Structure 1
Amino acid sequence: MSHPRDPYDRSHEQQADDVYGQEPWMLDPYADPYVGQMAPEGYTPEQLYGQEPYVPGPETGQMLAQTGDPPPYESDYQTGEFTGEFQPELQGEFQPEYEAWPTADEMRVGEPEPEAEPQRGKGGRMAAAAAAAAAARPRLRRVRRQRGRRLDNTALVALGLIGAMAVALLLNRPHQWEQPTLAAESSAPKAATVVCPGKPKAGADEVSVTNAADGSGEVTLSGPGAGKGAPATVGSGKVTTTAAKPGSVVIKADKEVAPGLVAGRSTTKPLAATACLAPQAEAWFPGVGAGATHNSILELTNPNSGAATVDISLYDEKGVVAVPEDLRGVAIPGNTTRTFDLLHVIPRKGELSLKTTVVRGQAGVMVRDRAVALETGATKEDYFPGQSTPAETNLLVGYPNSSASRTLTVVNPGDAQVSAELRLLTPKNVLTPEGAPEISVPPNGQAQVDLTKLLDKDSADDAYGIEIVASGPVTTAMRSVDGGDVAITTATETVSEATAVVVPAGAGVGKKRVVIAGPVAKTGSSGTVQVVPVTAKGKALKAKSVEVGPGQGAEIEVPAEAALIQLVPEGVEVNAAVVMSGDGDAVVPFHPLRSEVRTAGVAPGLPLPLEP
C-alpha cells in the first residue's frame, strides 16, 4: 500500500475522463509537477524530487473502479491482491506499457553542450533536468531581445536615409541641376577622301580638284579612272584639271589640303557634271530605272585597302521589293569598284527607289541615270547624287528651264502612310500652285507625280525650286528629260558657311546660274549671300550679293568661263545649286565644306536634366 501521505495519491480528487492522461509517468519529464503547489506535510522538496518514478499501485485500480469500466482481472481493489485467474489477452489490452524514466544523458541529447556542467545537487535526475532547463531559458530570452533591438536600429537608420533623400529631391528638382559646360573642340581635318564616279558612256571626261580654303599642296589620285595614280598639285582658289579614264577616281589629301578640299567630274559633250563626295554611310536614290528606256547603273567604290560591305534595298508603289541575290550584302574588296546595271540585275517596267547602307568599311556611292531612245538607240547619262538623310521638309533647288517631262519621286521609309504637300519656290515667296497634286506615300514605298504641266513656263515662269512638306521623313528627287538628255534634281543640304563647287568650263558649256533658296522656317533670319565666280587659273570674276530671307530666294547668272563658284552666306542659312545648260543640262548642288572637325568635350557631371 502507498503511504497515507503519498503525494501521488490523487484518489480523493475528482477524476477526469482520461484517467491515464493524468498519470505522472505520462507528463513532460522536463516540467516541474510541483510548481505553484505546496509540498505535503512532512515532506521537503528535496525528498519529493528524490523519489523514484511512480509505479501504479492499488490506488490506480480503485480509481478505475470509480469510472465504471469492467476490471481486466479479478482482484481486491483495496489490497491489490490477485484473486482470480490471470488472463494475458486482457492484460495486453488494458494494462499500459511502462517505459523506463530517461536518464540525464538521454535528456541532453540534441542540446548544445553547456559551458560548464551545472553542479548536481541533492534531488536526483529530475532535479538536474529541471535545473538545466531553467538555466537555458533565460539565455534564450536574452538573445531574442538583443536581436530585436539590432533589427530595430537598422530599420530606423534605413528610414532616416530614405527621408533624407526625399527631402533632397524636393529641395533640388532634377530640371534645376546645373550641368558642366562641355566645350566642343574644333580642329582642321588631317586627311580627306572623296570619290568621283565613273564617266558617262559618251563625252570628253575630266576631273577637277581645288582647295576652297587657304591650303595648297599635293593630292593623290587612284582608282580605275586615275591610271597610274600620279599626284596632282592643288593651290588655293586654283582649279587643277586632269584627264581621266572611264572608271572611278579616288582623291586623297593630307593635312595641308584636306581642309576645304573640293573636287568634281564632268563631261561637256553631252553635258554632265557632279561633285565628288566623301564616303556615305547611307544614301537614297528615288526614281531609278531598270527598264529599256530608263536604266540606272549603281556604282560602289571602296577607297581603302580593307574590305567593305554594302546592303541594298529597293522600293516601289506597293512597298519593299525583293532584292536579287546579286544585291544582297555586296562585298567590295579594297581599292576596287563594283558596278551593277539594274536592267540586267532586276529588269522591270517602271521606276524603283534604291537605298544603300554601308555595314562594313567605307564606300563611295553614286548612280548614273541613263535615257535610251528606242528608235535610234542613242543613250545619254547624267549623275545622280544620293540623299543622305530623310527629312520632313525637302528643298529641290534648280532644274532646267524647259523639259519634255518632269517626274517627282517621293519615298517613305517609315511604317505608316505619309501625306506630302508640294509648294513652289519663287524669288519673293513660297506658294501652293493651283492644281497642286495631293501626294500620299504608302509605308515603305514610293509615290510618283508628273510635274510637267505644273512646272511649265506658262504656269510657273519665275519658280526655281520645289518644297516638299510631308507628315513624316521622306526622300525626294525629280528627273527631267528633254530631247533624250537627263538632268537630276535632288534634295539639297543646308549651308550656313562659305563653300564652293567646281563646274565644267569650255565651249560645250553655255549659261550658268546659281539658284539660292532662303530659310524654310518663318522664324529663320535674313541675310546676304555673296557669289564669287573664279576661273581655272584663280582669277576672281565679278562677285554679286543678294538679300535672302524666309521664303525668299534669288537666281544669279554666272559667266561661262567660271570653273569654280564660291558661295558665302552671311548670317543666314541657304540651300543652293548651280544649273548649267549647253549640250544638255546638269544640276550640281552645293554641299557644306569640310574645313574643320569637331570633337565633343567630355567632363564628369550630374545626369542629364529632365524636363520639368
Structure 2
Amino acid sequence: MSHSQPPSTAPHGGRRTAARRSRLNLTVVLAVVLPVLSAGVLLLVRPEAPDDATYPPTRTTLTASTLICPSALPGAPGVALTTASDDVDGQVQVGLGDKATAADLVSGRVTSADDAGALAVVGEDDAAPGLVAGRAGGDDAAVASCLPPAAVRWFTGVGAGASHRSVLELTNPDAGTAVADVTVLGADGVVDAPGLRGVSVAGGSSVRIDLAALVPRTDELALEVVAARGRIGATVRDRIDRVGTDPLTQDWLPGQEEPSTDNVLLGLAPGSGRRTLTVANPGTDEVRAQLRIIDTESVFAPDGVDEIRVPPQSVVRVPVTSVVDQAVAQDAIGLTLTSTAPVTASVRSMVGGDLSVATAGTRFDTDATVLLPEAPDSGRQAATRQVVLAQATTAGTVQVVARAADGSTLKEKLVEVVPDRGAVVAVPAATRMLTVQPARTSVIGSVVTSAKGGASVLPLTVPVVNGLVPHVRPGLP
C-alpha cells in the first residue's frame, strides 16, 4: 500500500514571512529616509539669512542750512558771512523770527551783517551748501564760529562763581517751541539743578542762563545740553573777573560733540600765565587719564604729571601752569588726553590778563573753512596767526589757503603731516577766510591769533555741504 505524503506548508509560510519582513524593512527605510531628504531639500532652498537691517543715510543736495551765532561781545555787533561753495551770489536771512533781515552771500568773499543778539543764519537753495559764519570779540581777543543746531553738546570748564562765571545761551531758530535738558556735573557728582531741566525756548528767540545765579558754586563744572524737543543752538560765554586785580576778560567756550577717550586740545596762548585743565567723566566708573604734550617733533608725556583720576559723573580741575608754560616756551602747540573711558576736556589759559580756551577738536578729512576777525588797528602790535594741526591718522598732506575779505589769496602752502607729530603754518594777520584741505589723511586743527590785547583759539570745522536722507524700507512681518 502506498501512502501519499501530504503537501508541506513550511516553504510557503517561510516565503510569506520573508515577504512581510521585506515589506516591513522597506517601510522603515522610507519612514526614515524621506524626512531626511525633505529636510535636505529645505536646507537647499532656504533663503539666506538677512544682512544687517540698518543702512547708512543717502547723501543729497542740501536745500536749507541753519547756523546759530552767539550774542555779540561789546563793540562788535557784526556777523561775518561767506560760503565754501562755488558760483554763489545770493542772500541769506540773518536774525530770529520777524526780525530777520537779508544779507549778501558771495563765493570767495566775506560779507557782514549787524545784529548784536543771538541769531540764526539761514541759507536756502544755492546759499545752503557750504554756509559759513562767525563772530569776533571786538575789544576782547575772542572769536567764535556759528554752528548748526545740535542734538547734544558738551561744555567743560564752565564757572558759576563770583570770579569765574559762565552764561549759557540757548537759541531756537524755528517757529515752534523747543525744549532743552541741561545736566550739570561738578566735583562731587551730578549737581541738583531742577531749573535746568525742561528749559523752554519760544520760537524765534533765545534764553540766557547765568549759572552763577542759578547754581552758585566755586568748583569747575561741565554741562551736557540735550535738545529734548525741537532744534537748539547752545553756546557758552566764559568770564573771568578777579575783583581788585585783573579787569574783566571774556571769551566763548567752544562746545564738544561727544565724550572721547582721545581728546586733543590744540591752541595754547603764547607767554606765561595761569593754565587750568578741566576733565569731566560722564560715565558710572572711575576714569584714569594720561596727559601728553604735542609739538612739531613728537607727542610726549611731561615730567612731573601724575595720572589723572576722575570719579564717576564728576569733574576734576588740574593745575597745569608750570607744565604748559614750559611746553609753550619750547613751541608746544597743544595737549592730548588719553583716558580709559570717554571724557570731555578743556584747557583755560589766563595770559597777560586775557582769557582763551582750547577744547577737544573734531577730526576732519575734507575741506574745513573758518572766518577770522579783522587784523588789529595799526596802533596796536601786529597780530600773529598760526594754523596748528595734529593727530594725523596716516602720512599725508594739508593745503592751507589764506584769503583776504575780498577773496584775494594772501598765502597758499602745502604741508606734510604724519602721526604723532604736530604741524604749524603761519598765515598773514590780514587773513579773514581760511581753508584747510587734508589729502590722504584726517587731522584735528585750530587757528591761534595772538596780539598785544591777548589771544584767541578757533577750532577748525567743516561746513555742511550735503543733506542726509534716512534709508526707509518695509519691515518684515
TM-score between the two structures when normalised by the length of structure 1:
0.68
What does 1:560-579 align with in structure 2 at a 5 Å threshold?
Answer: 560-579=429-448
- 2:450 equivalent to 1:581: yes
Tell whether 2:284 aligns with 1:411. Answer: no
Q: Is structure 2 residue 207 aligned with structure 1 residue 352? A: no
Q: Where does structure 1 lack aligned partners over 5 or more consecutive residues?
A: 1-154, 607-612
Partner-residue secondary structure (3-state), 2:326: coil
Q: Which residue matches 1:230? A: 101
Alignment deviations for residues 226-261 of structure 1 (CA, whole Å, 9 cap, x no partner) = x9432011111100022332x212110001111110
Shift of 1:518: 3.3
Q: C-alpha separation between the residues in 1 aligned to 2:38 and 2:102?
A: 70
Q: State how far apart, in whole Å, the 2-side matches of 1:315 and 1:448 are.
A: 12
Amino acid at match of 1:353: A
Shift of 1:499: 1.6
Alignment of 1:165-564 (within 5 A): 185-200=58-73, 202-214=74-86, 215-223=88-96, 228-245=99-116, 247-323=117-193, 325-375=194-244, 378-457=247-326, 461-508=330-377, 510-519=383-392, 524-564=393-433
What residue is the counterpart of 2:16 in the other structure?
none
Distance in 2 separating the partners of 1:438 and 1:237? 47
Assess if the C-alpha contact under 8 Å between 1:273 and 1:383 holds in 2: yes
Per-residue displacement from partner, 1:276-313 (whole Å, max 9, x unpaired)? 01101111111111111101001000110000000111
Q: Deviations over 1:531-551 (max 9, x none)?
A: 111111111112011100111
Change (3 A) 1:602 1:349: closer
- Residue 23 of structure 2 corresponds to none
Which digits, 9 at most, give the CA deviation of each residue in 1:547-582, with x for residues without a partner?
Answer: 001112211111111110111111110101101112
Q: What is the count of residue pairs matched by the alignment?
A: 441
- The equivalences for 1:109-120 within 5 A come to none
Matches within 5 A, 1:54-73: none
3-state DSSP of counterpart to 2:227: strand
Using a 3 Å threshold, how does the CA distance of structure 1 residues 403 and 264 change in structure 2: closer, same or farther?
farther
How far did residue 416 of structure 1 move? 0.7
Partner amino acid, structure 2, of 1:196: C
Unmatched tracts of structure 2, length 5 or more: 1-30
Hey, what's the Cα distance between the residues in 2 that align with 1:269 and 1:588? 17
Q: Offset of 1:465 from its aligned partner?
A: 1.0
C-alpha spacing 1:602/1:291, structure 2 compared with 1 (3 Å): closer
1:461 is displaced (CA, Å) by: 1.0
CA offsets 1:334-378 (integer angstroms, 9 cap, x no match): 011100111111112222111111100011100000010201683
Greater fraction strand: 2
Write the distance in 2 (CA, Å) between the matches of 1:166 and 1:391.
Answer: 49
Residue 467 (structure 2) aligns with: 597
The residue type paired with residue 391 of structure 1 is: S
TM-score by length of 2: 0.86
- Contact 2:187 / 2:219 at 8 angstroms: preserved in 1? no
The CA distance in 1 between the partners of 2:181 and 2:366, in whole Å, is 33
Deviation at 1:462, TM superposition (A): 2.3
Higher relative contact order (CA 8 A, sep 6+): 2
Shift in Å at residue 178 of structure 1? 7.4
Instruction: State, as a whole percentage, how many aligned pairs show the same letter.
Output: 37
Tell me which amino acid in the other structure corresponds to 1:222: G
- Which amino acid letter does the alignment assign opposite residue 81 of structure 2? V
Deviation at 1:184, TM superposition (A): 5.8
C-alpha contact (below 8 Å) 2:171/2:234 kept by paired residues: yes
Distance 1:383 1:158, change over 3 A: farther
RMSD: 2.9
After superposition, the Cα gap between the structure-2 partners of 1:415 and 1:166, relative to the gap in structure 1 and judged at 3 Å, is farther
Give the whole-Å Cα distance in 2 for the aligned partners of 1:542 and 1:399. 23
Q: Deviations over 1:501-538 (max 9, x none)?
A: 0010132571111001132xxxx321110111111111
Distance change (3 Å), C-alpha of 1:458 and 1:526: closer
SS in 2 for 1:454: helix
Residues 185 and 313 in structure 2, CA contact (< 8 A), matched pair in contact too? yes
CA distance in 2, matches of 1:364, 1:235: 25
When Rg is computed on C-alpha atoms for both structures, the one with the higher figure is 1
The one-character-per-residue Cα deviations of 1:72-102 (angstroms, maximum 9, x if unpaired) are xxxxxxxxxxxxxxxxxxxxxxxxxxxxxxx
Alpha carbons 1:480, 1:487 under 8 Å: kept: yes
Q: Distance in 1 between matches of 2:149 and 2:324?
A: 34
**Distance of 1:156 and 1:331 partners within structure 2:** 71
With 525-534 and 345-354 compared, the bigger mean Cα shift is at 345-354
Q: Could you say if the C-alpha distance between residues 212 and 415 of structure 1 is closer, same or farther in structure 2, counting changes exceeding 3 Å?
A: same
- Equivalent residues in 2 for 1:76-155 (5 A)? none
Instruction: Output the CA distance in 2 between the equivalents of 1:378 and 1:240.
Output: 33
How far off its partner does 1:459 sit?
7.3
Contact 1:182 1:603 in 2 (8 A): no
| Cα distance in 1 for residues equivalent to 2:252 and 2:261 | 25
**1:467 & 1:341 partners in 2: Cα distance?**
30
Deviation for aligned residue 1:458: 6.0
